[in-house]
């Protein structure tokens, strides 16, 4: 029994050491540009996201735990149809279990969709708009891109415009998750 406990303790120490060794330091940026902040219930957070997506010129990268908000999904498809590169990484389980998920709709309308099943939850709620451009924008916060987040939940949304270094940091994280995500075929 003691030998088993010692082995378990050593294994736990190895896991913690490996996790600590692979953790990278927090990134720090001087903020520039402008910010928009909104809360639900009360603010039209979905409308702010749609307005931002309508202004996209070159690219929209999305990480979504859940995406059921019809207007946001339609804005992503409209961006794709006007020539903007749109790529979405979604949580595999949410796509599989949420009946109102719009992920399949996106794929059916030409949006590149990938499913992330590498984690217990691919819980990011991020959009990076026009990465690599001076006006690059990051959308983030607790707001899932869902109808429930707009009308039933207490959520927050932060839109950071015009900070290319911040956008690239989010895009680099997006690319890390894309590397282990699998494409969804319509």
Q: What is the pLDDT of residues 30-44, one digit of tens each?
A: 778 999 999 999 999
25 domain residue, yes or no: no
In the annotation, is 119 catalytic?
Answer: no
Q: Alpha-carbon torsion 76, 78, 80, 84, what sign? A: negative
- Is 162's pLDDT higher than 90? yes
Sorted by sequence, the CB contacts under 8 Å of residue 88 that are 6+ apart come out as 62, 63, 64, 67, 76, 103, 106, 111, 112, 113, 114
44 domain residue, yes or no: yes
- Whether the bond between 41 and the residue before it is cis, its omega within 30 degrees of 0, is yes
Q: How many domains does the chain have?
A: 1
In 3D space, the residue among 128, 125, 129 whose CA is nearest the CA of residue 155 turns out to be 125
Please report, rounded to a whole number, the percentage of residues in the chain having pLDDT higher than 70.
83
146 domain residue, yes or no: yes
The pLDDT assigned to 4 comes to 46
Active-site hit among 91, 95, 116, 130: 130
In 3D space, the residue among 86, 118, 117 whose CA is nearest the CA of residue 102 turns out to be 86
The pLDDT assigned to 67 comes to 87
pLDDT tens digits, 48-57: 999 999 999 9
Min mean pLDDT across 91-95, 100-104, 128-132, 165-169 is at 91-95
In the annotation, is 125 catalytic?
Answer: yes
Active-site hit among 125, 161, 177, 180: 125
The first and second tokens of residue 4, run together, are 């088993």
15 domain residue, yes or no: no
6 domain residue, yes or no: no
pLDDT tens digits, 115-147: 887 777 767 889 999 999 999 999 999 898 878
20 domain residue, yes or no: no
The pLDDT assigned to 2 comes to 46
Contact 163, 136 (CB under 8 A): yes
Which residue range is the domain that position 106 belongs to? 32-183
Active-site hit among 69, 123, 161, 177: 123
Model confidence band, residue 8 (pLDDT cutoffs 50, 70, 90): very low
The pLDDT assigned to 131 comes to 96
Average pLDDT, the chain: 84
178 domain residue, yes or no: yes
In 3D space, the residue among 51, 31, 53, 55 whose CA is nearest the CA of residue 43 turns out to be 51
The pLDDT assigned to 42 comes to 92
CATH code at 163? 3.30.870.10
The pLDDT assigned to 11 comes to 45
151 domain residue, yes or no: yes
In the annotation, is 123 catalytic?
Answer: yes
């Amino acid at each position: 029994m003691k030998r088993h406990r010692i082995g378990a303790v050593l294994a736990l120490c190895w896991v913690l050491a490996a996790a600590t060794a692979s953790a990278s330091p927090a990134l720090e940026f001087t903020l520039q540009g402008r910010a928009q902040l909104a809360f639900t219930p009360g603010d039209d957070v979905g409308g702010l996201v749609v307005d931002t997506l309508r202004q996209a010129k070159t690219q929209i990268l999305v990480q979504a735990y859940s995406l059921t908000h019809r207007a946001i999904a339609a804005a992503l498809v409209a961006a794709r149809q006007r020539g903007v590169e749109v790529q979405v990484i979604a949580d595999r389980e949410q796509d599989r279990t949420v009946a109102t998920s719009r992920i399949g709709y996106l794929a059916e309308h030409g949006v590149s969709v990938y499913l992330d099943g590498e984690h217990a939850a691919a819980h990011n709620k991020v959009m990076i708009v026009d990465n690599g451009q001076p006006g690059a924008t990051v959308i983030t916060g607790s707001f899932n891109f869902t109808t429930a987040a707009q009308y039933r939940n207490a959520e927050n949304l932060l839109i950071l415009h015009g900070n290319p270094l911040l956008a690239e940091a989010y895009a680099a994280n997006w690319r890390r998750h894309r590397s282990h995500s699998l494409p969804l075929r319509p």
